[in-house]
Structure 1
């Protein structure tokens, strides 16, 4: 027993108890209830700090634990602090509309998406958001509702459209962008289908009347569904390109010029790759029952 204790760097009494238990039961299993009972569990508020969780526990149970203990308990549950995903608020009606759209279009092939022009406005800022907010989450929970934080701040707004066959020019939005659709629709010809979101300017009567007068058909697009629009990923690519430049834009004019340049430089194959992912977008919405996806 002394030799075993030296080998494993434990006391002789530990070896003695283990040997005696083995002789009595034929196996060695740690008895349940050994050691001091834990004062904490893995239950958590996703956005609470370890300090806040420590204080909440003390108020509720009058038990004091170290912040390190709180952190260790969260880690045992597979939780790590991560940057929260940004997302829009989804009501039950929004989820139902998103789910219906995804089910209708999940089996569309490339030939179905070829005449579609995906359009959108996007906001860009001169400064990058440091995104210091954190949430506690497990792997695979990035798009859970409890891990979404909204963000709404910008310096400039632009409009553009992409399709499998090309793209429109990028327009800095001082006024409406409907006139930019007309030449593109004419180039595509019969079968042209406009995708635009349900922002107020797009659903306004004057906008709908303009499309009807010009014979432009628009898709029935579900509200609050930026993750279904592949151009949203294109905006992300542009944003990274702008902020990774050796000399970042310093004025709104420089930012607008840089955005136009980046818009024209991104290869068309990148756009085709994004639109080819539409079936995956739809499948993820169906899997989330109309909720948020990772896109």
Structure 2
């Protein structure tokens, strides 16, 4: 990065002191200019007989140093500002330049256009709720959620090797899919249910009626377990809440603006991988293989315990200066209390 040029008046003062007999060191100390700069200015005066800036090769810069600093301040003050708005700001300052010039100037200052990283907007009330839930997560919890499994592959991006110009055949909507409801705890997996038709609050209540309490009984959680679900409208509907209340099911409330820390997402991932390795040919076979693979999880209780422990690590957050951190040492200290 090029340094800022000295004023012509200051350069003339350097030459005047040199002509009066002062050495470079004394001139540097008196005018607070680096000794090397003093030498360069005097050498230029001896060669060309002047101190003003010589014409440079190439196109002159369209954006001055002060203009670039002003644009950087605007960006830091408002990171969402667009290049077009910055161009208008530059024009108002009397420095009209192209968008590419503004972008290049911001790049020189280390500022680049990037996709904004998402961060939950948490109030003090939300953080207190997270802290309360972190203590409750140690109790017996039955985690629950739904997932979609496609017939032709995982419903996520996949990378393949291919030559330029060649395409990879795909099927619209993944060739069909099924929706599953499941639950699990540190003791293992509960029932896995295929959802037929469109999921609504009434159907979700029926799934709970037929499978929730029986799953808790199969996992030997007793009647004093805690049920965890997210804030999907079907889960928080009036008829769902009434059924949970009438059956004395304790529901661990999911605070607003919460990241998705449900460990059942890991379970769904581990289920989908072996299912698609078996290459089901139709939806009926896909459902059968899903239930077979889910049943095999019953012998992997240690895996379920690891999933629950991982979410315990994520939920037990330490609140300091209204910020959430995942400091492991603070987590250990908190859990000893």
TM score, norm. by length of structure 1: 0.57
Q: Which has the larger radius of gyration?
A: 2
| Cα distance, 1:28–1:237 mapped onto 2, change above 3 Å | farther
Q: Select 2:179's aligned residue among 153, 157, 168.
A: 157
Q: Select 2:84's aligned residue among 49, 55, 58.
A: 55
Q: Is the 8 A contact 2:87 2:99 kept in 1?
A: no
> What is the aligned length?
237
* Residue deviations 1:105-141 (CA, integer Å, cap 9, x gap): 33457xx33x2101122345668566xxxxxxxxxxx
Bigger relative contact order, structure 1 or 2 (CA pairs below 8 A, ≥6 apart): 1
C-alpha RMSD of matched pairs (Å) = 4.8
Offset of residue 164 of structure 1: 0.8
Q: Select 2:190's aligned residue among 151, 168, 184.
A: 168
Mapped partners of 2:90, 2:112: distance in 1: 23
SS in 2 for 1:122: strand
2:46 paired with 1:24? no
Match of 2:134 in 1: 106
Mapped partners of 2:294, 2:302: distance in 1: 13
Q: Select 1:278's aligned residue among 303, 306, 311.
A: 311
The answer to which of 168-177 and 251-260 deviates more is 251-260
2:208 paired with 1:180? no
Mapped partners of 1:155, 1:72: distance in 2: 50
Offset of residue 29 of structure 1: 8.1
Note the residue ranges of structure 2 that are not aligned, 5 or more in a row: 1-14, 16-22, 39-52, 54-60, 158-175, 197-202, 327-337
Match of 2:57 in 1: none
Q: Is the 8 A contact 1:119 1:162 kept in 2?
A: yes
| Cα distance, 1:117–1:289 mapped onto 2, change above 3 Å | farther
Mapped partners of 2:237, 2:124: distance in 1: 23
Match of 1:121 in 2: 146
Which aligned pairs between 1:5-44 and structure 2 lie closer than 5 A?
24-25=27-28, 27=34, 36-37=64-65, 38-39=67-68, 40-41=71-72, 43=75
Note the residue ranges of structure 1 that are not aligned, 5 or more in a row: 1-16, 131-153
Q: Is the 8 A contact 1:166 1:268 kept in 2?
A: yes
Offset of residue 195 of structure 1: 1.3
Mapped partners of 1:203, 1:218: distance in 2: 11
